[in-house]
Amino acid sequence: MSIQEITAGLPAPKPLRLGETALFLDLDGTLAPIAARPQDVAPDPRRTSLLERLALKLDGRLAVVSGRTLADIDRILESCVTAVAAVHGLVLRDPDGAVHATAPHPDLAVATEGFRVFAARDPGLIVEEKGGLSVALHFRQANWHAEAARACARALATQTGLVLQEGAMVEELRTPGARKGDSVRAFMAKPPFAGATPVFVGDDATDEDGFEAAQALGGVGVRVGAAKTTAARFQLAGVEAALAWLEASG
């Protein structure tokens, strides 16, 4: 399906058929509400219990695909999901627990320093370092700097050759390499995911690649949150709706 402009909104997905599904879940904005600061997102017993049940009923065909670091995903989800694509796919932990990571870009330190210099102008600007592979500049608490933050990120991307990835109130510069869609394809090529129907659930522009990959493999994308231009075929109103749908499925 081609990218479509959402006007009246997409239909909500039906409950999952867990026996034939491979489920890929974003974290922030999908399983957990967006927080003012990345470190403010904490473990939640309801979410952990839900993911444990889903992993069991899916026979392990559950993966979290997030822009966060592997350590941060494990902190928030209390290590309840084994298969994880972290830093947008630059770090991949297989269902058997083996971890594969892309080599860091040599100019990441330059970009990090550039973001730190920019962030010094306002305490509401937050620089998030992601395991030596990526660095993000958050301006959710200082959105009056949005235009300047985007200009800073574009300039640093040109200077360093890092990949510019724009998100909701965040500019990120990452080592070139795998994206979320690549992670879906990698997981779907191996047990226990192989042969199942992929369903990718996410909320942000960074998840569009995941939607497209799932749908190219015969599955679907489910967008969480406000209606926007998207490749997804289904939509849920927000995090609470996403959790309720997953609970109804599992």
Query: What is the Cα Rg of the chain in Å?
Result: 18
Q: Under a CB-based contact definition with an 8 Å cutoff, are residues 99 and 131 in contact? A: no
Q: Which residues contact 9 (CB under 8 A, 6 or more apart)?
A: 227, 235
Residue 42 exposed, middle or buried by CB count within 10 Å (0-12, 13-18, 19+): exposed
Point out the residues that are catalytic.
Answer: 26
What end-to-end distance do the CA atoms of the chain give, in Å? 28
Please tell me the distance from the alpha carbon of residue 173 to that of residue 218, in angstroms, as a whole number: 31
Please tell me the distance from the alpha carbon of residue 247 to that of residue 35, in angstroms, as a whole number: 23
Please tell me the distance from the alpha carbon of residue 121 to that of residue 109, in angstroms, as a whole number: 19
Would you state the structure tokens that stand for residue 168, as one six-digit string?
Answer: 């909701």
Please tell me the distance from the alpha carbon of residue 227 to that of residue 213, in angstroms, as a whole number: 20
* Residue length of the chain: 250
